[in-house]
Amino acid sequence: MASSSTVFGGTHHVTGLRLFSDASQIQESDWDAILITVKTYDTQSAVDACRRLVGPQTWLISIQNGHGNLEAMAAAFGADRILGARIITGAEMKPGHVTITVHADALRLGPHHGEADLMPAARRWAAILDSAGVPTQASDQFLPYLWAKLLYNCALNPMGALLRLTYGELWEHPPCRQAMSDIFREAFAVCQAHGIPLFWQRPEDYEKVFDTELVPKTRNHYPSMLRDLEHRGRTEIDSMNGAVVELGKQHGIVTPVNAVLTAMIKRKEKAVSSALAGGKH
């Protein structure tokens, strides 16, 4: 099978791929690395499917959004063989064809908590991905990078999905801007209580970067959560705003804006799933 993708400024055609519709069809085991790229609600299923493929030398690399993916992988295989990669690239997909719509930064690949003994492996796999044409840098600050992306997703994905607006259209609407500020404040309080490191001391500091750097680069982009609702009736809300809510509960921190958005998306999921099951479009 051949596939093509327009990625990082060039068009690439890939041939000679061995494709499987299910991991049970793969005969080989003890792979050098397994990349987990599924939606967060499928992470546990992917972990279970990979169990027989993992050998003593196999590294597992999560290239996913949201909270909880590395935790699920570490619980199954041990934290000493797990790496994560923060990705901030948008794409549109058709059978055999992927078009990159936005690429804001290189993958930042590293161990979950910056463990020094895992950094040689992180540098090795970052170099392999980078040499393959996917800009990648090793980092001992994977968790701050992951949560920087999570803040971005929490602010834009659910409202963009519910209102069917681009990121720029959301940002230009004052009530949505206020909701974004509230989302940031709630998430920062949760991170501080939970000991999750961030690059910024205050939500206002992050909001400046969000307003002046992040949104302008992606202002014409629709959220992937909108496409997930349209095509699957299921989203990653539990690992985004839902994660902020659940982590907040552990420390008695109320997160009303994140909670309302989580509830609204879940209600929308049920409505869309029911329509899809009934053959309605």
What positions carry a catalytic annotation?
149
Task: Give yes or no for a contact between 110 and 136, defined as CB atoms under 8 angstroms apart.
Answer: no
What does the alpha-carbon distance between residue 15 and residue 17 come to, in Å, rounded to a whole number?
Answer: 6
Burial 210-229 (b: 16+ CB within 10 A, else e): beeebbeebeebbbbbbebb
Q: In angstroms, rounded to a whole number, what is the distance separating the alpha carbons of residues 45 and 173?
A: 39
Helix (H) or strand (E) holding 34: strand 33-36
Backbone angles phi, psi at 147, to 5 degrees: -75, -25
- In 3D space, the residue among 20, 25, 27, 64 whose CA is nearest the CA of residue 44 turns out to be 64
- Of 229, 225, 239, the C-alpha closest to 44 is 239
